[in-house]
Amino acid sequence: MKLIVAIIQPHRLNEVKTALEAVEVNLMTVTEVLGQGRQKGVTEVYRGAKEAGSLLKKVRLDIAVNENFLEPTITAITKGAHTGEVGDGKIFVLDLAECIRISNGERGGKAIG
């Protein structure tokens, strides 16, 4: 089991969701986050006080998958989030030790989907 953490541009979320649905990945957690990578933030000014390159809003997806879904999920996220510009985001893949479905206590791979 793997946990995929993807940081993407907020306005690409819908394309990513559509691409994930096409490969039957329908379960995900979405959070709003702030971040900075190679894309510089925008300078903000408040009554003359400048704040250079502040953090930009991004969207974070957390998706748990079984191994056979790993590559299709990565491909779908990449396809949906890609614009070719700096700031498109990153995908991290982590090993997942356990997964438990709260409603019926199922564990492991069958609890993921």
Partner 1 sequence: MNSGDTAWVLTSTVLVFAMTIPGLAFFYGGLVRRKNVLSILMQCFIIMCVISLQWVLFGYSLSFGPDTGWGIIGSLKWAGLNFVGSQPNPDYAATIPHSVFMIFQCMFAVITPALIIGAFAERLKFSAFLIFSVLWATFVYNPIAHWVWGAGGWMKSFGVMDFAGGIVVHASSGVSALVFCLLLGRRVGYQHPPFRPHNLPFTVLGAGLLWFGWFGFNAGSALAADGIAANAFITTHVAAAVAGLTWALIEWQQNGAPTILGACTGAVAGLATITPVCGFVNPINAIFIGILASVFCYIAIAVIKTKLGYDDALDAFGVHGVGGIWGTIAVGLFAEKTVNAAGANGLFFGDAHQFLVQLTMVAVVSAFVAVMTWILFKFVDAVVGMRVEEKQEVIGLDLTQQSEAAYTVIE
Binding site for partner 1 (CB under 8 A): 9, 11, 14, 32, 34, 42-46, 54, 56-57, 85
Q: At what angle do helices 67-81 and 13-22 cross, to 10 degrees?
A: 140
- 101 and 111 Cβ atoms separated by less than 8 Å: yes
User: CB of 64: closest distance to partner 1 in angstroms?
Assistant: 25
Output 50 or 67, the one with its CB closest to partner 1: 50
Q: How far is the C-alpha of 47 from the C-alpha of 44, rounded, in Å? A: 10
- 64 and 2 Cβ atoms separated by less than 8 Å: yes
User: CB of 72: closest distance to partner 1 in angstroms?
Assistant: 23
- SS3 label, residue 72: helix
Output 65 or 89, the one with its CB closest to partner 1: 89
User: CB of 91: closest distance to partner 1 in angstroms?
Assistant: 20
Output 32 or 98, the one with its CB closest to partner 1: 32
Q: At which residue do the structure tokens 């949906």 appear?
A: 80
User: CB of 87: closest distance to partner 1 in angstroms?
Assistant: 9
Output 57 or 90, the one with its CB closest to partner 1: 57
- 105 and 34 Cβ atoms separated by less than 8 Å: no
